[in-house]
């Protein structure tokens, strides 16, 4: 165990050397087992040994790269928050980008205190993460910490909550059972493809809803084997495509990255 030092910077207890002399250990040396309140220096020989090791054994560790600036902005969570519903097997977490951050640590837990054994931890390089491993009909807490290769002791954001459910539900969907949507994870501007495997002359209407239920697009089409849907006006996030033909409908979920 590490030991404490007294007001003089030496061990609070005495020891005896092999010759029987009583002494107190110097607590100022970082390469000792004194606690952080004591240790504050390397000895000249320790400094020389470390420099020799670096210059002789690990010259590839040296470089002229300028350190990244410190991260001073806290992470702000965007979605989902305040208990929003999320598709249990495709939860897309979003937060605001943090200046000088190159990576993020994302934690998800069933408990607000994020205990280690009950917390899933992920890393992301962008301010968003798709999680496909959560259980249905559960409430989760999540939080994010930003860091870079030079500054990695920031605090986590305040936590937010969401509730998982199976949102890809259908209404009397047997009449549209042969409808497929692909891809379901796409880049902004990439086309959605709605493919019908049966034949019909009925018109179709579709609406696109964002994650909080707002309708962001709606159109009508003649029924064709394949219909292409533009996404260039959609920001990154989770969306739901509702397809209606007569009094029948089916809903798909997709993610714009």
pLDDT per residue as tens digits for the range 179-237: 888 888 888 889 998 887 765 666 788 888 887 667 788 887 776 777 888 888 898 88
The reported pLDDT for the residue numbered 156 is: 96
DSSP track, 38-73: T--B--HHHHHHHHHHHHHH-GGG---PPPPPPP-S
Backbone CA torsion sign across 22, 27, 30, 35: positive
Residue 118: pLDDT band (50, 70, 90) is very high
Look over the chain and give the mean of its residue pLDDT values, rounded to a whole number: 87
The reported pLDDT for the residue numbered 174 is: 45
Is there a contact between 93 and 86 (Cβ–Cβ < 8 Å)? no
The reported pLDDT for the residue numbered 198 is: 64
Q: What is the mean pLDDT of residues 36-54?
A: 95
Distance (Å, whole) CA 153 – CA 212:
33
Question: Is the pLDDT reported for residue 249 higher than 60?
Answer: yes
The reported pLDDT for the residue numbered 170 is: 44
pLDDT in tens, 10-33: 999 999 999 999 999 999 999 889
Q: What is the pTM of this model?
A: 0.52
Report the relative pairing of strands 84-87 and 160-165 from DSSP bridges: parallel
Q: Which two tokens stand for residue 57?
A: 């054994």
The reported pLDDT for the residue numbered 150 is: 92
Distance (Å, whole) CA 30 – CA 231:
58
The reported pLDDT for the residue numbered 151 is: 92
Residue 168: pLDDT band (50, 70, 90) is low
Q: Which residues are paired to 220 by β-bridges? A: 205
Main-chain dihedrals φ then ψ at residue 12, nearest 5 degrees: -75, -10
Percent of the chain with pLDDT over 70: 91
| Residue 211, SS3 per DSSP | coil
Higher pLDDT, 29 or 130: 29
Q: What is the mean pLDDT of residues 141-169?
A: 90
Question: Is the pLDDT reported for residue 148 higher than 50?
Answer: yes
């Amino acid at each position: 165990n590490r030991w404490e030092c007294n007001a003089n910077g030496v061990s609070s207890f005495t020891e005896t050397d092999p010759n029987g002399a009583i002494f107190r250990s110097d607590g100022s040396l970082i390469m000792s087992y004194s606690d952080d309140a004591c240790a504050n220096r390397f000895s000249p020989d320790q400094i020389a040994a470390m420099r020799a090791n670096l210059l002789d054994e690990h010259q590839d560790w040296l470089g002229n790269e300028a350190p990244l600036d410190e991260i001073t902005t806290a992470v702000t969570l965007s979605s989902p928050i305040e208990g929003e519903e999320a598709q249990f097997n495709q939860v897309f977490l979003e937060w605001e980008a943090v200046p000088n951050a190159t990576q993020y640590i994302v934690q998800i837990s069933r408990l607000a205190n994020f205990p280690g054994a009950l917390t899933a931890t992920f890393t992301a390089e962008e301010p968003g993460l798709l999680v496909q491993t959560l259980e249905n009909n559960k409430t989760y807490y999540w939080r994010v910490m930003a860091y870079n290769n030079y500054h990695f002791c920031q605090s986590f954001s305040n936590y937010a909550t969401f509730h998982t459910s199976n949102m890809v539900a259908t209404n009397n969907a047997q009449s549209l059972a042969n409808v497929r949507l692909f891809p379901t994870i796409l880049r902004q501007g990439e086309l959605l493809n709605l493919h019908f495997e049966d034949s019909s002359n009925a018109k179709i209407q579709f609406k696109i809803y964002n994650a909080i239920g707002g309708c962001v697009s709606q159109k009508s089409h003649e029924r064709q084997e394949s219909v292409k849907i533009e996404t260039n006006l959609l920001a990154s996030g989770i969306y739901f495509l509702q397809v209606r033909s007569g009094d029948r409908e089916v809903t798909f979920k997709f993610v714009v990255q």
